[in-house]
Chains A and B, each alone.
Chain A
Amino acid sequence: MPSVLIVDDDPFIRKLVSTTLEDVAGMTIVEAANGKEALEVARSEKPSIVFLDIDMPVLDGTEACRRLRAEPAGAEATIVMLTAATRDEAQRESEAAGADLFLTKPFSPLELLRLVDDLGKTTTPG
């Protein structure tokens, strides 16, 4: 089962995502509270999916995405940006930084589960 890294400065969001993916989908979840932590955790855990919030202290999601892409640990991962519905510009920026997908907050847990299911099907051979 691929591991998932959830990066958000809001512990509430991290808890929701990890509960959904761990308890329901049986995935392994690692967490980080900002972009800087995310890079450290990614290096040690090599997650196959990274959920990145955009607005975060210390190092924001867009910059974290750019740096992740430049490292072996993040080059192959699927990066999903967590965005507010109205932040078009931030979306474009993170797309340029190498983000694959966007999940709009507030997100639907069913949509989240479908998304990781679909990713599992396309990334895991067999």
Chain B
Amino acid sequence: MRLYSARADKEVPGVAVGGEDRLRAENERLRAELAEQRSKTGDEERQLERYASDLRDIFKAERARAEELRDSYVATVRALTNAVEARDAYTGKHAERVAAYGLLLTRRIEPALAEDPQTEFGFLLHDVGKVAIPDQVLHKPDDLRSDESEVMRRHVLIGWEIVRRVPFLLRAAQIVRAHHERWDGTGYPDGLAGEEIPLAARIFSVADTLDALTTDRPYRRGVSMPEACEVIARQAGSQFDPAVVEELSATPHVVLENIRDKTR
């Protein structure tokens, strides 16, 4: 604004003689003011650049920390999972395979649910409550007596009690609790039916049975993938959510076999 008026003054015709000195002085004053203004603006700009540069550093550090945190979540869950599987020799990498089958199905059914790391954590930790089941029940080769079955069934609620206390595992805890529920309402511990059962638990239930059927046990060999899928399909609507079974049937067997063969 001032600069403009200074220029306008110059263009005004008939400036009185002797006014020229004043004009020159005014011009210099304005130049000095402008220079100071520019230097101040430059200082402010440099100061803001320092803020921007610190902000960049903070973002970088924050991302690294978030990644570290995610990694330590995963490591914690794996440690817990391994603690369970260490006691249960025959299952081998059961939890890992079930998680892989489960995530595959979840991605096809509800992609957002598969994005939630807690879904995988819940799959991996489903049997964490077995740490509290006595050896003679957990490792009994014969059929369990009814009182022993009762003890065995407790692993669901024990697991839920363990996991629900961890804030980053709250949703995973629901899977742990509901992983033995059945679509027809005859499962445990809550006897939930149909869509009362969390979707991730309904998916888990199919994945769990798929792995149980296709894995060799000391007393029987595992069946082939197509056979297992057929067995599961027959239980659609009773044990399993028909929509989940449908997704399983639509999945190429080779994809499932890849998971089985990679995670032994």
Contacts and interface: CB of A to CB of B under 8 A. Distances in A.
B45 to A, nearest CB: 9
Contacts of B44: 10, 12
A10 B50 contact: no
B53 to A, nearest CB: 8
A110 B49 CA distance: 13
A125 to B, nearest CB: 30
A70 to B, nearest CB: 31
B43 interface: yes
A109 interface: yes
Interface string B34-68: 00000010011011011101100110000000000
Contacts, number: 25
Nearest to A110: B54
B40 A109 contact: no
B41 to A, nearest CB: 10
Contacts of A16: 47, 51
B43 A109 contact: no
Contacts of A13: 47
Contacts of A110: 54, 57-58
Contact of B54 (A10, A12, A108): A108
Contacts of B47: 12-13, 16, 105-107
Contacts of B46: 106
Contacts of B58: 110
Contacts of B57: 110
Contacts of B54: 108-110
The contact size tier of chain B is: 10 to 19
Nearest to A113: B54
A109 to B, nearest CB: 5
A13 B46 CA distance: 12
A17 to B, nearest CB: 10
A106 B44 CA distance: 8
A73 to B, nearest CB: 29
Contacts of A105: 43, 47
B126 to A, nearest CB: 43
A61 B49 CA distance: 25
Interface in B79-133: none
Contacts of B53: 108
A106 B40 contact: no
Interface string A4-26: 00000010110010000000000
Given A12-B47, A16-B47, 19 more contacts: A10-B40, A10-B44, A12-B44, A13-B47, A16-B51, A105-B43, A106-B43, A106-B46, A106-B47, A106-B49, A106-B50, A107-B47, A107-B50, A108-B50, A108-B53, A109-B50, A109-B54, A110-B54, A110-B58
17 contacts: A10-B44, A12-B44, A12-B47, A16-B47, A16-B51, A105-B43, A105-B47, A106-B46, A106-B47, A106-B49, A107-B47, A107-B50, A108-B50, A108-B53, A108-B54, A110-B57, A110-B58
Interface of A: 10, 12-13, 16, 105-110
